[in-house]
Homo-oligomer: A and B are copies of this chain.
């Protein structure tokens, strides 16, 4: 079992930051096995991600970093281990099925603790993989009430991340605020194009030659959260809206898996509604 840790730091840029950080790591006898820095010059903001190996006294290292670095610095020192996640779904199977398979064969870097659906369509699939499924219908409920029921269930599992694997409802701001930069959604379009309902119908009507998908963090503005990953596939005039949706499903599941791989490896910073990805 690895005792590697990932160090994440971001703060206002100034001279000597890498020197100060690596001094602390060196004096704690930690070996840097991978390191990346990025300076957002427009905002004069510094980002650093380091993977370190060695016997670590986490509290001591954090205290020394705190002393060595400017105030208002944001940092974290995370053990390299699988994340715990809860997945929200509606009726579509392709993203959930892909995630269940990846987890089962140790290809997801996460434990799926539970799946929650506002329909029970995907309960049999989920249970094939011996994972609990909670059916929480939205019918005859106000959004806030429904979200509160989901929230209660989610909290029971205390997950690191929530994954919306084709969850086709908008989460209320009160819900989203509980999980800042911890909810990942797969959007059925190459954002910012075709926001809203029926994106494949829109794409067909517009006669596009390429369709895409976007994985992003969810914030309180619908479809406007920080983008993590995007990909596309070529289509042509012989594809009707249904064909485009079918092609779209393959892109969606691949893009979601790419994004989760990055997020679960602690490679993604969020800043100014954008992502900084050390890959």
Contact = CB atoms under 8 A, between A and B. Distances in A.
Contact of A19 (B22, B36, B101, B236): B22
Instruction: Tell me the number of copies of this protein.
Output: 4
> Dominant SS at the A interface?
mixed
Contact of A93 (B101, B193, B208, B209): B101
Contacts of A38: 34, 237-238
Nearest to A25: B19
Nearest to A14: B31
B246 A107 contact: yes
Interface string A223-236: 00011111110101
A82 to B, nearest CB: 16
Interface string A255-279: 0010000000000000001111101
A59 interface: no
14 contacts: A15-B29, A15-B30, A15-B31, A33-B39, A34-B39, A93-B104, A98-B101, A107-B246, A128-B128, A128-B129, A190-B190, A190-B193, A191-B193, A192-B193
